[in-house]
Chain A
Amino acid sequence: MKALKLDRNAIGQWLSNMAGERDIYAPASDGPAKGTWTLLTDYSMPEIKPGVPARPVKNFLFPQPETLLKFSIVPTDPDCCLPSEPEENGRKNVVFGVRPCDARSIGLNALACKADTYYQANMDKNAIIGLTCSQVCSTCFCSETGGSPMGTEGCDVSLTEIDGRYIARAMTERGEELLALAESFGKEVTDSDFSAVEALEERARSGSDEIRNPEEQLRKKDLMELYNAPFWQELADRCINCGACTFLCPTCYCFDIQDETLHGKGRRIRCQDSCMFPLFTLHASGHNPRGQKIQRVRNRFMHKMKYFPDRFGPISCVGCGRCVRDCPVNIDIREVMRSLLNFHDMGSVTP
Chain B
Amino acid sequence: MMETGTMRESMRNAVTDNVFMPNETVISEIIEENSTIRTYTLRFTDRAAAFSFLPGQFVMLSVPGHGEAPISISSSPTSTDAIQLSVRRAGRLTSALHSMKAGEYVAVRGPYGVPFPVDELKGRDLLFVAGGIGLAPLRSLINYCRAKNGEYGKITLCYGSRSPSDIAFKNDLDAWQADGSVDVRLTVDVPERGWQGRTGLVTTLLDDLTINNSNSSALLCGPPVMIDAVISKLKESGMDSEQIITTLERNMKCGVGLCGHCHMEGVLICKDGPVFNVRTLENIMGATG
Say which size band chain A's interface belongs to: 35 or more
Q: Tell me if B285 and A224 are in contact (CB < 8 A).
A: yes
Cβ-based interface call for A1 (8 A):
no
Cβ-based interface call for B224 (8 A):
yes
A61 CB, nearest partner CB in chain B, Å: 13
Chain B residue numbers with a CB within 8 Å of A80 are: 2, 105
Instruction: For A303, give its contact among B223, B262, B263 (CB under 8 Å).
Output: B263
> If the complex has contacts A224-B285, A306-B266, A307-B266, are A284 and B69 also in contact, measured as CB distance less than 8 A?
yes
B95 CB, nearest partner CB in chain A, Å: 10
Q: Tell me if B260 and A275 are in contact (CB < 8 A).
A: yes
**CB-CB contacts below 8 Å: A253-289 with B:** 253-259, 261, 266, 268, 270, 273, 275, 280-285, 287, 289
Instruction: For A259, give its contact among B66, B90, B262, B265 (CB under 8 Å).
Output: B66
Q: Tell me if B286 and A289 are in contact (CB < 8 A).
A: yes
Q: Tell me if A223 and B265 are in contact (CB < 8 A).
A: yes
> If the complex has contacts A69-B20, A81-B64, A116-B19, are A280 and B2 also in contact, measured as CB distance less than 8 A?
no
A212 CB, nearest partner CB in chain B, Å: 24
Closest to B289 in A: A289
B246 CB, nearest partner CB in chain A, Å: 14
How many chain B residues have a CB neighbour from A under 8 Å? 51
Complex CA–CA separation, A81 to B250 (angstroms): 26
Q: Tell me if B91 and A83 are in contact (CB < 8 A).
A: no
Complex CA–CA separation, A295 to B66 (angstroms): 30
Cβ-based interface call for B125 (8 A):
no
Cβ-based interface call for B33 (8 A):
no
Chain A residue numbers with a CB within 8 Å of B224 are: 287
Selected interface stretch from A37-45, A71-79, A88-96, A159-167: A71-79
Closest to A275 in B: B260
Complex CA–CA separation, A224 to B105 (angstroms): 46
* CB 8 Å contact bits of A93-116 with B (1 = contact, 0 = none): 000000000000000000011011
Would you list 13 pairs from A and B whose C-beta atoms are within 8 A, ordered by A residue?
A83-B107, A115-B19, A223-B265, A255-B253, A259-B62, A259-B67, A268-B64, A268-B67, A281-B250, A281-B251, A284-B90, A284-B251, A306-B266
